[in-house]
């Protein structure tokens, strides 16, 4: 019995043993070569954790997945609302918090925190009215504030009909939907209502939570989107990416110039263009009801919150590397989800603040940027 047989120029057969040995050797080499390929970045820690605003969750999720694939760092972010995010970062139960309502400079100093804008976007009114297509219903500031005050109760109210003469609106009760949790999206929305309605300002005001005069509550942008989608005659407010994901019907809004505007990335960018970040203490910025013919009136920024004094320098550095990557490489992903990326000049201010404010054992955590956006 032959122990080994091999292929020769004369066409002799190779034994199964030799073939198997060659195959195993090839697979071993292949496995070794694959494990030897380094990631783009070496992960210094396994994971970082964050919690807060649902407004930016779609883009944070996308950024986190992309960055994990190239760095090995796992980004654990919980969409629990801005109020929850602020509470958790204050308690140091997460590495970073996220909020759409910025904290005032005095409170930041008291808590030993810094904040910086991470992304900007638009809050849109969404409706579920049979027979009315997306982007056809027109709402003025007075109409939307009176709907949420409970003063306008039916979709065929004469005031709604007056600005929508081409629509056949039903004699149907309006079901108002709002957030039930502490929400930065609510802060943006109620800040807008406070700007455009003296009655809302005097009776309700603005905040992450308010005493709603009417309506049903739901948790998160996710909850509001779902409740509007299944409730006939309803109206709610959500970040634009949620409206698109749920295929909800959004309304046109009359802006400060009197024009009825559709929510688009260009309209959000127009609202953000006039922001004076340089003179905003602690990056505190209100972007609602901005001037400009093309400006969307309910626009806001979403913020990251981190502690100035970091116990774990390696984790802090890994966290800032992730944010740095998002600023430099995440713009197109953000735009694809209809968010507005932070401008380069604002990021330069943010990075300067990192260098000055964030330290571990008295030593700066962040030293210098490695590349420009898109490189």
CATH 3.40.190.10 fits 122-283, yes or no: yes
For 119, phi then psi, to 5°, come to -160, 160
State residue 367's pLDDT score: 84
Sign of the C-alpha dihedral computed for residues 329, 330, 331 and 335 taken in this order: positive
| CA–CA distance, 125 with 141 (Å, rounded to integer) | 11
Q: Judge whether 69 and 237 are in contact, CB under 8 Å.
A: no
Q: Which residues contact 201 (CB under 8 A, 6 or more apart)?
A: 193, 194
User: Given this chain, do its domains 47-119+308-364 and 122-283 carry the same CATH topology?
Assistant: yes
Tokens of 172: 């149907």
Homologous superfamily of the 47-119+308-364 domain (CATH): Periplasmic binding protein-like II (3.40.190.10)
A 10 A CB-CB count for 59 gives 25
Tokens of 141: 């500031």
Where are the extended beta strands (E) located within 33-87? 47-52, 74-79
Q: What is the pTM of this model?
A: 0.85
Cβ neighbourhood burial of 12 (10 Å; 0-12, 13-18, 19+)? exposed
Predicted confidence pLDDT, tens digits, the chain (375 residues):
333 333 333 343 444 444 444 444 444 444 433 333 334 444 568 999 999 999 999 999 999 999 999 999 999 999 999 999 999 999 999 999 999 999 999 999 999 999 999 999 999 999 999 999 999 999 999 999 999 999 999 999 999 999 999 999 999 999 999 999 999 999 999 999 999 999 999 999 999 999 999 999 999 999 999 999 999 999 999 999 999 999 999 999 999 999 999 999 999 999 999 889 999 999 999 999 999 999 999 999 999 999 999 999 999 999 999 999 999 999 999 999 999 999 999 999 999 999 999 999 999 999 866 556 665
| CA–CA distance, 318 with 306 (Å, rounded to integer) | 13
Where are the extended beta strands (E) located within 196-333? 216-218, 234-239, 249-250, 252-254, 260-261, 299-307
Unique residue bearing structure tokens 């004369």: 10
Q: Give the start-to-end residue ranges of the domains of the chain.
A: 47-119+308-364, 122-283
| CA–CA distance, 179 with 58 (Å, rounded to integer) | 18
């Amino acid at each position: 019995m032959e122990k080994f047989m091999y292929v020769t120029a004369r066409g002799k057969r190779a034994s199964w043993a030799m073939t198997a040995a060659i195959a195993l050797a090839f697979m071993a080499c292949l496995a070794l070569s694959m494990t030897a390929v380094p990631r783009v970045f070496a992960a210094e820690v396994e994971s970082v954790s964050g919690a807060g605003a649902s407004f930016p969750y779609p883009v944070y999720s996308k950024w986190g997945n992309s960055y994990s694939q190239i760095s090995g760092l796992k980004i654990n972010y919980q969409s629990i609302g801005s109020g929850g995010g602020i509470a958790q970062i204050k308690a140091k139960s997460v590495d970073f918090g996220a909020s759409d309502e910025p904290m005032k400079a005095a409170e930041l100093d008291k808590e030993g925190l810094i904040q910086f804008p991470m992304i900007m976007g638009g809050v849109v009114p969404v409706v579920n009215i049979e027979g009315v297509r997306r982007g056809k219903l027109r709402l003025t500031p007075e109409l939307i504030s009176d709907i949420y005050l409970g003063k306008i109760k039916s979709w065929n109210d004469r005031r709604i009909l007056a600005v929508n003469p081409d629509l056949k609106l039903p004699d149907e009760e309006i079901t108002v939907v709002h957030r039930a949790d502490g929400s930065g999206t609510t802060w943006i929305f109620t800040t807008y209502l406070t700007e455009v309605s003296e009655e809302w300002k005097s009776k309700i005001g603005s905040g992450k939570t308010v005493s709603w005069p009417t309506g049903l509550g739901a948790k998160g942008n996710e909850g509001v989107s779902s409740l509007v989608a299944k409730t006939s005659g309803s109206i709610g407010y959500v970040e634009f990416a949620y409206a698109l994901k749920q295929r909800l019907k959004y309304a046109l809004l009359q802006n400060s110039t009197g024009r009825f505007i559709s929510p688009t990335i260009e309209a959000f960018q127009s609202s953000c263009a006039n922001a004076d970040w340089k003179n905003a203490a602690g990056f505190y910025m209100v972007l609602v009801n901005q001037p400009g013919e093309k400006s969307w009136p309910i626009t806001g920024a979403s913020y990251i919150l981190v502690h100035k004094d970091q116990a774990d320098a390696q984790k802090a550095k890994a966290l800032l590397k992730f944010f740095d990557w998002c600023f430099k490489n995440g713009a197109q992903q953000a735009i694809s989800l209809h968010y507005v990326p932070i401008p380069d000049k604002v990021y330069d201010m943010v990075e300067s603040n990192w260098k000055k404010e964030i330290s571990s054992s008295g030593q700066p955590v962040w030293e210098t940027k490695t590349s420009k956006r898109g490189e």
